[in-house]
Chain A
Amino acid sequence: MTARTEISAGLLKVDCAKEADRIAAFLHEVVFRRFRRKGVVLGISGGIDSSVVASLAALALGKEHVLGLFMPERHSAKETLELGRTVTEHLGIESVHEDISPMLDAFGCYRLQEEAIRRVVADYGPECKSKIVLPSVLDADTYRLFSVVVQYPDGRTTTTRLDLTSYQSLIAATNFKQRTRKTLEYYHADRMNFAVAGTPNRLEYDQGFFVKLGDGAADVKPIAHLYKSQVYQMAQFLGLPETIRSRPPTTDTYSLPQSQEEFYFSLPYDKMDLVLYGKNNGYSPAEVAQGMGLSQEQIQRVFRDIEGKRKAANYLHSPPALVEEIR
């Protein structure tokens, strides 16, 4: 009986040339033949995922058939727009800059966010900054319940647990951002007869790290099967600028910088990839723990967290329920 390969980063090594060809062929077939669209439009955040998707789309369809949208808002990091321009200039694709802050104001997004936070932090105001964070899944067995971190103008910070109403209200208000961006993507797609490309990687797609009908909506998702580590490999293979490849993953959603493991995942992406890979390929918690230098108990907690998020993601992925099949 062949011994199973020990869990290690090597398991995620991808043949980038072959994968790029496969994705490019897929995009060409889907966009031009199946959907009969003349190109793709996608949001460009300056992050690794949208950069790789833009690059693959330009490879597959030709750069004149790709439109990048910059859609920053009041809480976006300063470098987001600059890095986005770096990508589109590097690829030679057309871009449009749409500041969505006025739209979010009109929706009441910022006001509703502040009201939600004030339910638990009475003196929270527009001059404060904030983000929501989860406790570590490695360190303790506590439920992963969100707290809001508030930074006051004098630099002082507080951390307060969100109750049910404030949590749901804050998430609902924040979701305006992703849904507004998707509205603009489809506006440009409609006017140009393009398709919309989504940019989730495997971790995000599997674990429901997206807003339903926000960044979760798209006509094609060319890297949803790639682990985040593999997206980084593709970025290097495709020759994307080093400033893009070295930017730490961020949600770029709240006014305070927020890492993806603070907000959603149990571990940094490179470790999360390995645990997810192990779970997907039948490795036991003990085997995964040994390969990663963590305890079996810690990996069991992460496995449980993965399962919980997958169940929640079922709703996010579901198309409309119908009484009976049509056609």
Chain B
Amino acid sequence: MTKMYEPSPLKSVIINRASNEPLSNLNPLRTMNYKTEVKNFVVSNLLFGVAGDLKDNTSFLDSGTVDSTGVLEIIMFLEETYGIKIEPEEMVPENLDSIDRVSDFLTRKLGTPTTK
């Protein structure tokens, strides 16, 4: 039987973490920095390790960083990593179209991350 395709294990691309535990097992409020984690994910999974001109406020859509499949990858990353459910009305560029916007969206959903 054909094995269903599964995209790359998302947890493995979170780097510079204090422990080796999968991020989803950690209390999200204990993570260091949403911006860093989101950027790491985008660079590793959507830009294949080459950040190039990507800035925190770069529009993913305008820069071509993300297409509709890329948006799905970001949504899956956020839901699985932070244990959240993103509602259809929240799937808008205002929330997801740059590292800054995703970070702000996570802060509104989860509160400000604090270090241990």
Chain A positions near chain B (C-beta within 8 angstroms): 108, 112, 115-116, 119, 135, 140-145, 161, 163-165, 167-169, 172, 304, 308, 311-312
6 residue pairs, one from A and one from B, having the closest CB atoms: A164-B72, A164-B76, A143-B71, A143-B91, A142-B92, A141-B92
Contacts of A112 in B (CB 8 A): 2
Nearest CB to that of A107 among chain B residues?
B2
A311 touches B72 (CB 8 A): no
- Determine whether the beta carbon of A311 is less than 8 Å from that of B67: yes
Q: Check if B76 sits within 8 Å of A143, measured CB to CB.
A: no
Report the minimum CB–CB distance from A53 to chain B (whole Å).
Answer: 30
Query: B96 interface residue, CB < 8 Å from A?
Result: yes
Q: Is B69 an interface residue (CB 8 A)?
A: yes
* Least distance between A211 CB and chain B CB atoms (Å): 15
Q: Let me know if A164 and B73 touch, CB within 8 A.
A: yes
State whether A161 and B88 are in contact (beta carbons under 8 Å apart), knowing that A141-B94, A168-B5, A169-B4 are contacts in the complex. yes
Interface residues, chain B, CB within 8 Å of chain A?
Answer: 2, 4-7, 61, 64, 67-69, 71-73, 75-76, 88-89, 91-94, 96
- With both beta carbons as reference points, the residue of chain B lying nearest to A315 in the complex is identified as B67
Q: Tell me the bound Cα distance from A168 to B72 in angstroms.
A: 10
- Which A-chain residue is minimally distant from B71 (CB atoms)? A143
Contact A145 B5 (CB under 8 A): no
Could you tell me the dominant secondary structure of chain A's interface residues? helix
- Asked if A164 and B88 sit within 8 Å, CB to CB, the answer is no
B68, B73, B96 — which one has the most chain A CB atoms within 10 A of its CB? B68
A312 and B67 contact, CB distance less than 8 A = yes
List, sorted by A's number, 8 A–B pairs whose CB atoms are closer than 8 Å. Answer: A116-B4, A140-B92, A142-B92, A145-B71, A163-B72, A164-B76, A165-B5, A168-B69
In the complex the two chains form, is B94's CB within 8 Å of A308's CB? no
In the complex the two chains form, is A143's CB within 8 Å of B68's CB?
Answer: yes
Residue among A167, A169, A308 making CB contact with B72, cutoff 8 Å? A167
For B67, the closest partner residue in chain A by CB is A312
* Contacting residues, chain A, for B5 (C-beta < 8 A): 165, 168-169, 172
Shortest CB–CB separation between residue A221 and chain B, in angstroms? 24
Decide: B2 and A108 in contact? CB cutoff 8 A: yes
With contacts A164-B7, A169-B5 known, what are 13 further pairs, Cβ within 8 A? A141-B92, A141-B93, A142-B88, A142-B89, A142-B92, A143-B93, A161-B88, A164-B69, A164-B72, A164-B76, A165-B5, A308-B61, A311-B67
Please give the distance in Å from A261's CB to the nearest CB on chain B.
16
Residue contact B96 to A143, C-beta cutoff 8 Å: yes
